[in-house]
A = this chain, B = another copy of it.
Amino acid sequence: MRLDETTMSLVRLALAEDLAGFGDVTSALTIDIASRSAAAIVTREEAVVSGLDLAAAVVTEVDAEIAFERLADDGQGVGSNVAVARLVGPSRSILSAERTMLNLFTGLCGVATQARRFARAVEGTGVTVVDTRKTTPGLRLWEKKAVRDGGCGNHRFGLFDLVMIKDNHVAAGGGVAATVTRARRGAPFPMKVEVEVSNEQGLLEALAAGADIVMFDNVGTVELARLVSVARSLRPEIVLEASGGVTLESVRAIAECGVDIISTSALTTGALPVDLGLDFE
């Protein structure tokens, strides 16, 4: 498996932080150069696994002689004290790779685990909880995959794959109707147009101007439900998204307002790393 250049660049940056100068002096001084070990990556708490390919890539980048054996799959939920992968190879190299590998892998498992919680919170509502662009610099591809591994969905990848007109664009561009109309006319035809609104006036303008997706930002649930039914009555096929103030506690109530999509950065920046350890056999 070969990862994309962006990912490999990040892996190399991360390894270079840890292995500058004389490199892993401790392992060189205390571990015999011929020593070989086996070590397992073990959960210290419940987790959804994500990022095995990236973990493997770090390890292989440090030393291609380390074998990385998968004992679980991305997207799999596991209990505490479960081995999800096993490394076999030169002891020094395994120790040199350990921290950089875990820094990446524990974060991705954290995102997937958090996504699993949100997916469960809206189970049965037909709503998809999706991520945002609040991701760790250089790791967006992996964190968006972790979100899917956890059972949630993805919003746009970046600024380039959706016209998304936010409050600042509306303000600078002369209102909802004007900006949506301009976007519809000027956008590359394969691209959808989404607009953020905060009240009925904005909603009506958005629907009339032909937005593909309407996003309600920070609208209370009572008003949200009302606006959703207004929208559905005018354009039944419109895609409706809610955002703002989304927590594990509030998400189901928002989902029950009838939107299609709920977006929240809680999936990524709100997720703490999962506790994983590297246990030598």
Contacts and interface: CB of A to CB of B under 8 A. Distances in A.
Interface of A: 2, 4-6, 9-27, 29-32, 35, 37, 61-64, 91, 95-96, 99-100, 102-104, 106-107, 128, 130, 133-141, 144, 153-166, 168-173, 179, 182-183, 186-192, 194, 213, 239, 260-261, 269-270, 272-273, 280
A139 B102 CA distance: 15
B18 A158 contact: yes
Contacts of A160: 18-25, 157, 161
Contacts of A239: 189
A102 B187 CA distance: 27
A188 B22 contact: yes
Contacts of A191: 25, 161-162, 192
Given A160-B157, A160-B161, A192-B190, A20 B20 contact: yes
Q: Is the interface of A mostly helix, strand, loop or mixed?
A: mixed
Contacts of A12: 5
B9 A13 contact: yes
A272 B29 CA distance: 30
A26 B63 contact: no
